[in-house]
Chain A
Amino acid sequence: MNGSRAVITVEALSKSRTGVPVLANICLTVAEGSVTVVVGSSGSGKSTLLRCLNGLETFDFGAVAIAGHRLSAGPHAPQLLEHVRRDVGMLFQQFNLFPHLSVIENVVLAPRVVLRLTAEESRARGLALLDRVGLRAFAEARPATLSGGQQQRVAIARALAIQPRVVLFDEPTSALDPAMSADVLDVIVDLAGSGQTMVVVTHDHDFARKAAAWVVQIDAGKIVRQGLVDEIFQPT
C-alpha cells in the first residue's frame, strides 16, 4: 500500500446477529487517497462491514480506527458518531435523496445544519458540486423527476458537500441499468483520480481497473483474498 498513511484500520472486527456470525475477524487497512473495492456474493456481509465503519451498526469484538476517530465494540456515544460521520460519507444502493427538498436543497442541507456554513457559502459549494457531477441544470428540480442515475449523482454531490475524508459506496449502481451505471461510475472514477479515499462495494471489474483499486473479497463474513485488481480479477 505504498507506505502512505492509513485512513481506515479495521482490527479483528467480529459481529453476529442473533447468534449467527455475520463478520468474523476482519482485518483491513485503507490508505489515504486509495480506492478499495469490496466484492463478495450476496449476503456475505459487505453492507454490514461498511455500516460498521460509519457506526450505522455496532460490532461485538475488535475496533475500527477511521479518519482519526476510534470506534470500539458495543454501543457508540452519539457525539462520537456525529464526529465520525462528518468525516465519513456514505452512499446507498437506493440513493435516499430527500423527496421533499429540491436537488440543491438536498446538497446544501448538511453544510447548513451540520457545518453551519452561511446560505451563500453552502449554495456556492452545492452548485460547484452539482457542476462536477454534471447536474447543475437540475438544481431546482425535485429528485422524483430525475432518472436513477441522476439521483445517484446528486447523492454523491450531497455526500461530498461536507468534504468527508472517506466516502463509502454500498453498491451505488446495482439499482441502475448499464447506461446510467456508466455515468455514475465515471463520476466515481473521476473522484478517485482527484485523490478521494473511497471504499466501494461493487461487482464492476471495469471500474476496479480504471480506479486502480485494491480489491478485498469477502465470503461468509471473512476476508478470503485481497490484492491489486489485476491479481484478483485475472482474465479467465
Chain B
Amino acid sequence: MSRWIRLFLLVLTGLTACDFVGTWPQASAAADLEAVRDRGELVWGADQEGGGPHVFPDPDNPVMLRGFEVDLAAMLAEELGVLARFQQGQWDRLPLLLGRSTDCILNGIELTAQRNRDYRCSRPYYAYALQLLARRDSPLAAFEQLLTTAPRGRWQVGVLTGSAAEIFMRSRHDLAVDVIGYDGTIDSMEQLKTGVLDAAVMDDCIFTFYADRFAELRAVGRPFAGGFYTILTAHNTPQLAVAIDAGLGRMIADGRLQTLYDRWDMAGRQQILMLRDAAEIPASKPQSIWALCRETVPLLLESAAMTLFLSCISFPLAILVGLSVAIGRLHGPVSLRPLLVGYVELVRGTPLMLQLYAIFFLLPQIGLALPAIVAAILGLALNYSAYESEIYRAGLKAVSLGQFEAALSLGMTKWQALRYVLVPQAVRIVMPAVTNDFIAMFKDTSVCSVITVIELTKRYSVLALSTGRIMELALATAILYGAMSWPLSLLSHWFEHRLARSASAR
C-alpha cells in the first residue's frame, strides 16, 4: 500500500527538483556590486555549446573559451575592477542561474518584453537580425514562400529553443511551417545539412560565423525582424546593473566595443550606430493566475498526451523485441546467442540520451533521416527492449522444465510449446516488473527533449521560463505526471497481488 504512495511522492519531489538541479551547480549566493568587488570576480553565465561567435571552446585548446562575449565579459569585469569567471549552463535556462551562482548572464540573450519583466536587462550591447537559411539545392528563395506549403508538406524549420527566432516563428501562425526547437544552433544547421529540416532561422551573426563550415547552406533573402542583445542581472542586484550599464556606456563611447566587434568581424561601425539609437523596450505586465492557466494548461495537457503517446507506442515495441531476444537467447540457434548477448549489453551499457542522439543526429549522416517522433519511439523501444529481454529471460527460466516437457510430450514443436505454454506463464510471472518498467519509461520520455520532441517536462521547462512561474507550473506538471503514473502503479500492485495469490494456490 505505502509503496505506490512513496512512488508518487518520489515522482512529485523528483520532478520539481531534477529539472533545475542541473543548472544549479553550487549555490554561492550572488550579491550586489559590493560583494562582487569583495570577491574580486564577476561570475558570468553562458553556454559554450551555443557556439560562435558568442562563446565556444578554442579549437586548438578546448579547455579555453573564445568568442566576442568572452572578450566582452573580460572587458566588463575590468570596468568593475575585478576578474571575469565563466559559469556553464544550458542556454534556454541560463537566467535561472541568477541569484544562485552567477552575477549576470551574457550570451546573446535577446531583449524581450517578458525578459524585461522577469530580470534586469542592461542597455543593448549588440543589434541582431533574424536570418532564414536553406540548403543550396533547396527551392526556398524567399521568406514569403513559407506562407504556402513545401512540395513535401509543411516546411520543417529549426530554431534554437527559447531564442527570439523561436518566439518569432511560433508567433507567425500564417506560415505553413512546423517549428522544431533545438538545444543548440549548430544542431539545427547539422539537421538542415542532412535534410531533416527544410530551413532554419537564427541570429545573422551566428550564420555569418559558421557559413564556411556549413558551405552547403545559404542565406535566404535579407535578414528580417531583429532586436538587441542584453545582459541579464537579478532584480535584487540594482547596483551591479547600474555599474554594467555604465561600463557598457563607456565602452561604446570610447570605441572599445567597436574594436571588439571588428576583431570578431561583426561590422563594428554599423553596430555602434544601431546601439546608440537603441529604443527602450517596455516590460510586460505580470500575468494573473487565470491568464496563466488559460495560456499554459492546454499546452501542458497537449504535452502530457505526447508523453503518453510516446510511452504507449514504445513500450509494446520494447516488449516485442525484448521477448524475441529472450526467446532467442534461451531457445534460438546457438550461433545467434552471442549476437543477442552483445545487443543487450551494448544497449544496457549506454545512456538513453546517447542512443537518441545517435538515432537522430548520426543516422541522417548515412542517409537515414527519421522524424523526431519516430527517432524517439525507436530509441525508447530499443533502450527498454534490452531491459525487458532480461526480465522475460528470467520469467521464462522460472517456468519449470516439466511444463516444457509436458508440452513436447503432447507432440508440440518447440515453438508451439513456447507460444502456448511457456510464454503465457512467463508473461504472468513478470507482469509486476514489466509494469514498473512501463512507469519508468513513462518518465524517461523526458529525455526525448534532447532530440526536439516536446513532451511534458520540456513543455514545463519552456513555459516556466517564458512565464516566470516556476513553482506553480512545477506543481501542475507534477500533478499531471502523478495522475498518469498512479493508475499504472495501482495496476502493477494488482498484478503482484494476483501473482502472489495464484502462487499460494498452487
Q: How far is the CB of B71 from chain A (nearest CB, A)?
A: 71
Neighbour of A78 across the interface among B402, B406, B414, B425, CB < 8 A: B414
Q: How far is the CB of B494 from chain A (nearest CB, A)?
A: 17
Q: Does A85 contact B (CB under 8 A)?
A: yes
Query: Is B505 touching A94 in the complex (CB atoms < 8 A)?
Result: no
Query: Is B408 touching A85 in the complex (CB atoms < 8 A)?
Result: yes
Query: Is A100 touching B409 in the complex (CB atoms < 8 A)?
Result: no
Which chain A positions have C-beta within 8 A of B285?
none
- Given A113-B420, A144-B502, residue A96 in contact with residue B405 (CB < 8 A): yes
Which chain A positions have C-beta within 8 A of B402?
92, 94, 96
Query: Is B409 touching A56 in the complex (CB atoms < 8 A)?
Result: yes
Q: Does B424 contact A (CB under 8 A)?
A: yes
Which chain A positions have C-beta within 8 A of B416?
113-114
Q: Does B22 contact A (CB under 8 A)?
A: no
Please measure, in the bound complex, the distance between the C-alpha atom of A99 and the C-alpha atom of B421, giving whole angstroms.
9
Query: Is A162 touching B406 in the complex (CB atoms < 8 A)?
Result: no
Please measure, in the bound complex, the distance between the C-alpha atom of A142 and the C-alpha atom of B502, giving whole angstroms.
10
Please measure, in the bound complex, the distance between the C-alpha atom of A39 and the C-alpha atom of B221, giving whole angstroms.
96
Please measure, in the bound complex, the distance between the C-alpha atom of A94 and the C-alpha atom of B401, giving whole angstroms.
11
Q: Does B403 contact A (CB under 8 A)?
A: yes
Q: Does A159 contact B (CB under 8 A)?
A: yes
- Given A96-B402, A99-B506, A109-B420, residue A85 in contact with residue B425 (CB < 8 A): no
Query: Is B414 touching A109 in the complex (CB atoms < 8 A)?
Result: no
Which chain A positions have C-beta within 8 A of B421?
98, 109
- Given A100-B424, A100-B428, A113-B416, residue A82 in contact with residue B411 (CB < 8 A): yes
Please measure, in the bound complex, the distance between the C-alpha atom of A86 and the C-alpha atom of B412, giving whole angstroms.
8
Q: How far is the CB of B211 from chain A (nearest CB, A)?
A: 65
Query: Is A56 touching B408 in the complex (CB atoms < 8 A)?
Result: yes
Neighbour of B410 across the interface among A56, A85, A144, CB < 8 A: A85
Q: How far is the CB of B169 from chain A (nearest CB, A)?
A: 55
Which chain A positions have C-beta within 8 A of B506?
99, 144
Which chain B positions have C-beta within 8 A of A88?
409
Q: Does B270 contact A (CB under 8 A)?
A: no
Which chain A positions have C-beta within 8 A of B400?
96
Which chain A positions have C-beta within 8 A of B502?
99, 144
Query: Is B405 touching A78 in the complex (CB atoms < 8 A)?
Result: no
Please measure, in the bound complex, the distance between the C-alpha atom of A162 and the C-alpha atom of B402, giving whole angstroms.
19
Query: Is A114 touching B410 in the complex (CB atoms < 8 A)?
Result: yes
Q: Does A158 contact B (CB under 8 A)?
A: yes
User: Which DSSP category, helix, strand, loop or mixed, fits chain A's interface?
Assistant: mixed
Contact with A along B397-437 (1 / 0, CB 8 A): 00010110111111111101000110011001000000000
Neighbour of A96 across the interface among B403, B428, B505, CB < 8 A: B403
Query: Is B405 touching A110 in the complex (CB atoms < 8 A)?
Result: no
Please measure, in the bound complex, the distance between the C-alpha atom of A4 and the C-alpha atom of B196, giving whole angstroms.
79
Please measure, in the bound complex, the distance between the C-alpha atom of A115 and the C-alpha atom of B412, giving whole angstroms.
10
Query: Is B408 touching A86 in the complex (CB atoms < 8 A)?
Result: no
Contact with B along A80-93 (1 / 0, CB 8 A): 01100110111010
Q: Does A42 contact B (CB under 8 A)?
A: no
Please measure, in the bound complex, the distance between the C-alpha atom of A162 and the C-alpha atom of B505, giving whole angstroms.
29
Which chain B positions have C-beta within 8 A of A94?
402
Contact with B along A197-210 (1 / 0, CB 8 A): 00000000000000
Residue among A99, A115, A162 with the highest chain B CB neighbour number at 10 A: A99
Contacting B at CB under 8 A, from A87-128, are: 88-90, 92, 94, 96-100, 109-110, 113-115
Q: How many residues of B contact A (CB 8 A)?
A: 22
Please measure, in the bound complex, the distance between the C-alpha atom of A145 and the C-alpha atom of B505, giving whole angstroms.
7
Q: Does A34 contact B (CB under 8 A)?
A: no
Which chain A positions have C-beta within 8 A of B425?
98-100
Which chain B positions have C-beta within 8 A of A158?
410
Query: Is B410 touching A82 in the complex (CB atoms < 8 A)?
Result: no
Which chain B positions have C-beta within 8 A of A142?
505
Residue of B nearest to A112 (CB): B420
Query: Is A85 touching B409 in the complex (CB atoms < 8 A)?
Result: yes
Please measure, in the bound complex, the distance between the C-alpha atom of A218 and the C-alpha atom of B194, giving whole angstroms.
76
Query: Is B403 touching A98 in the complex (CB atoms < 8 A)?
Result: yes
Query: Is A89 touching B409 in the complex (CB atoms < 8 A)?
Result: yes
Which chain B positions have C-beta within 8 A of A78?
413-414
Query: Is B412 touching A113 in the complex (CB atoms < 8 A)?
Result: yes
Please measure, in the bound complex, the distance between the C-alpha atom of A114 and the C-alpha atom of B413, giving whole angstroms.
8
Q: Does A150 contact B (CB under 8 A)?
A: no
Q: How far is the CB of A47 from chain B (nearest CB, A)?
A: 11
Contact with B along A144-167 (1 / 0, CB 8 A): 110000000001001100100000
Please measure, in the bound complex, the distance between the C-alpha atom of A78 and the C-alpha atom of B505, giving whole angstroms.
35
Which chain B positions have C-beta within 8 A of A110?
410-412
Q: Does A36 contact B (CB under 8 A)?
A: no
Residue among A86, A96, A109, A114 with the highest chain B CB neighbour number at 10 A: A96
Please measure, in the bound complex, the distance between the C-alpha atom of A81 and the C-alpha atom of B412, giving whole angstroms.
10
Which chain B positions have C-beta within 8 A of A86?
411
Please measure, in the bound complex, the distance between the C-alpha atom of A61 and the C-alpha atom of B424, giving whole angstroms.
38
Contact with A along B479-506 (1 / 0, CB 8 A): 0000000000000000000000010011
Q: How far is the CB of A129 from chain B (nearest CB, A)?
A: 13
Please measure, in the bound complex, the distance between the C-alpha atom of A25 and the C-alpha atom of B506, giving whole angstroms.
41
Q: Does A54 contact B (CB under 8 A)?
A: yes
Query: Is B405 touching A162 in the complex (CB atoms < 8 A)?
Result: no
Q: How far is the CB of B428 from chain A (nearest CB, A)?
A: 6
Query: Is B412 touching A114 in the complex (CB atoms < 8 A)?
Result: yes
Which chain B positions have C-beta within 8 A of A159?
409-410
Please measure, in the bound complex, the distance between the C-alpha atom of A159 and the C-alpha atom of B406, giving whole angstroms.
9
Query: Is B414 touching A162 in the complex (CB atoms < 8 A)?
Result: no
Which chain A positions have C-beta within 8 A of B414?
78
Residue among B405, B410, B414, B421 with the highest chain A CB neighbour number at 10 A: B410
A-B contact pairs, 22 of them (CB 8 A): A54-B409, A78-B413, A78-B414, A82-B411, A82-B412, A89-B410, A90-B406, A90-B409, A94-B402, A96-B400, A96-B402, A96-B406, A98-B403, A100-B425, A100-B428, A109-B410, A109-B420, A110-B412, A113-B412, A114-B410, A144-B506, A155-B406
